[in-house]
Amino acid sequence: MLEQVNVFYEGWGERWQWGTLVSTTALTGRPLIVFEYSNEARQKGLELSSYTLPLEGAQLRRDFPDHQLHLPGPVYDALPDGWGLLLMDRMFRRRGLTTARIGSLERLAYIGSHAMGALTFEPVAPEGQESKVHIPLEQLAAQVQEVLHGDGGEFLQTLLLVGGSPQGARPKALVYRDPETGGF
């Protein structure tokens, strides 16, 4: 399960981090999405929702409405509506995923820079898991085949880490080739 997504503002030729969304159980013991404005957003003073998400106030915002998938309004508005969600769910099912287990942050990560409006979304790898995954290419290929055949669910997190962008119809991996040893 994806735990953190950075939200960027990309409008009028600018790009800067607007805030961060985190899925956590630390505050209440149950899954909860919290939002925090970035320092840059506070400095720039761009308030996208002055009534429900003012810049001034609590550092961590939470308890967003159920009908907004527990997301702040401007973030929820970046997701596709009914038809787009239907297509997204069908694509997830085609990839062997259970749509009921796909959370709001995973949907935002999938949308990435293709959202309507000025917000874009980038998943954040958990600490200690930043692309330092060492998997022989043969094992990677075998595990991908298991996932494609509906098995290998425990390997999905690793695929998310090495897979780069979630878009595309075919499995991909970003690999590093050591120029001195020639190994991957």
pLDDT digits (tens, 9 = 90+) for 60-115: 999 999 999 999 999 999 998 888 888 888 888 888 889 999 999 999 999 999 88
Same domain, 61 and 141: no
Query: What is the total count of domains within the chain?
Result: 2
Same domain, 96 and 136: no
Same domain, 115 and 146: no
For the chain, percent helix, then strand, then coil, each to nearest 5?
A: 30, 15, 55
Same domain, 155 and 108: no
Predicted local distance difference test score (pLDDT) of residue 166: 40
Q: Which residue range is the domain that position 179 belongs to?
A: 129-184
Same domain, 142 and 175: yes
CA 18/CA 150 separation, integer angstroms:
37
Q: Is the pTM of this model over 0.85?
A: no
Name residue, tokens 């527990």: 70
Average pLDDT estimate for 128-142: 67
Residue 150's region, left for phi above 0, alpha for psi from -120 to 50, else beta, is left
Same domain, 94 and 180: no
Same domain, 54 and 112: yes
Predicted local distance difference test score (pLDDT) of residue 151: 66
Domain boundary among 124, 150, 169: 124
